[in-house]
Amino acid sequence: MKKNVIVSTILFLGLSLLLSACGGAPVVEKVVTVEVEKVVTQEVEKEVNVEAEVAEATEEAASGEAVAEATEETVAEETTEETAAPAAQTSGSTLSIVKDRGVLNCGGNASVPGFGFLDPDTNEFAGFDIDFCKAIAAAVLGDAEAIEVRATSGTDRFPVLQAGEVDVLVRNTTWTISRDTSLGFNFAPVNFYDGQGMMVRTDSGIKTLADLEGATVCVQQGTTTEKNLADVMRALDVSYEPVVLADQPATLAAYAEGRCDGFTTDKSGLVSSRTQLPDPEAHVILEETMSKEPLAPVVRHGDDQWFDIVKWVTFGVIDAEELGITSANVEEMAATSEDPVVRNLLGVEGDLGQGLGLDNDFMVKVISQVGNYGEIYDRNLGPDTVFNLPRGQNALWTEGGLMYSPPFR
């Protein structure tokens, strides 16, 4: 028995040295385990088990890595533009970058009057969404005009934000779960509640979506509008031919040229587009609403402080309207109001601004330079504009709408 053990031990050591010289630890583990199981006696069984466990763990780790790689490849294959993974974040906090730069880079629209429009006469951007860019700049930099608007399309707006080319996107963008998660974005509070609609020619005889059977419909690529149209028409069992265009100007132009029987986008966009047609009265927006379109400013994941700033500036202009604070009276209200709610909002009491990394009176700067929510709305979309767009859901909650701010407390 003792002789057998000695022989077995010599064989074991010889095999180990030979295989180690050839390289490849995993191979050594597998071969040695097999040989030991055949030759080694009960006295060295504990060592054999250790070797076997190491080999098994190595195999499991390799298997886990293979599964992970396969999973990553599968996800990559299934990724579309709408759910593309976010790019690497810009180093440093967005707030410090914007302050050092002295300018807020804001992704906007250049072709939707009332919301985001590049005036060819002044070469300046104006509109409802642009005013929210200005509000953020006023809060952060103290100057509402310290903005650089980057005109984006429905297709490139997300890659531009992901790449850090803009600090915030305020471009009639619908808040959806995939954009909030897969794209790596955070949506600030909704600044405009909208819904998708359909515009047709008044003399077309089309009164409802069902009347579009066999018709052609102009729709913009890379938007929720394109998907909603397909879903709604399928549900109504209406056959139609989509004419998909790259951006809003091309989509509107195709409709104006008669290439489509209908033109679909958010109803606010239809109101804006209608004013750009040669004879606006020759076109009508159908009453049906095809979807919910909550539009909101957007920032990248990974910078909670910046997200909080954009969020509370948006809430702040809504709260200011509810409290009756306007660009005309904000200085007086800050100096004389005894209402603790007003004093908190305007930074007279408390350190709410410091919690955001801003001056405590950041909302005084916003309201004095840009106005409250009602002023922003009326200036761009209200009764004194060509749009005369009713507030509807965008009225304050006290007036039957959905606009509501949490407490500044």
Superfamily holding 94-192+295-399: Periplasmic binding protein-like II (3.40.190.10)
Equal CATH topology for 94-192+295-399 and 196-291: yes
Q: Model confidence over 89-98: pLDDT tens digits?
A: 445 799 999 9
Angle at 196 between CA 264 and CA 281, to 5 degrees: 55
Q: Buried (b) or exposed (e) across 327-346, using 16+ Cβ within 10 A? A: beebeebbeebeeeebbbbb
Whole-structure pTM value: 0.77
* Domain spans, the chain: 2-78, 94-192+295-399, 196-291
> Which CATH superfamily hosts domain 196-291?
Periplasmic binding protein-like II (3.40.190.10)
Backbone angles phi, psi at 186, to 5 degrees: -120, 130
Burial (0-12, 13-18, 19+ Cβ within 10 Å), 109: buried
> What is the distance between the alpha carbons of residues 126 and 52, in angstroms, rounded to a whole number?
71
Give pLDDT tens digits along the chain (409 positions).
Answer: 444 434 344 444 443 433 334 444 333 333 333 333 333 333 333 333 434 343 343 344 344 433 333 333 333 333 334 444 444 444 579 999 999 999 999 999 999 999 999 998 899 999 999 999 999 999 999 999 999 999 999 889 999 999 999 999 999 999 999 999 999 999 999 999 999 999 999 999 999 999 999 999 999 998 889 999 999 999 999 999 999 999 889 999 999 999 999 999 999 999 999 999 999 999 999 999 999 999 999 999 999 999 999 999 999 999 999 999 999 999 999 999 999 999 999 999 999 999 999 999 999 999 999 999 999 999 999 999 999 999 999 999 999 999 999 999 9
Alpha-carbon gap, residue 171 to 157, rounded angstroms:
8
Sheet with 111-112: list strands edge to edge.
Answer: 111-112, 116-119, 124-126
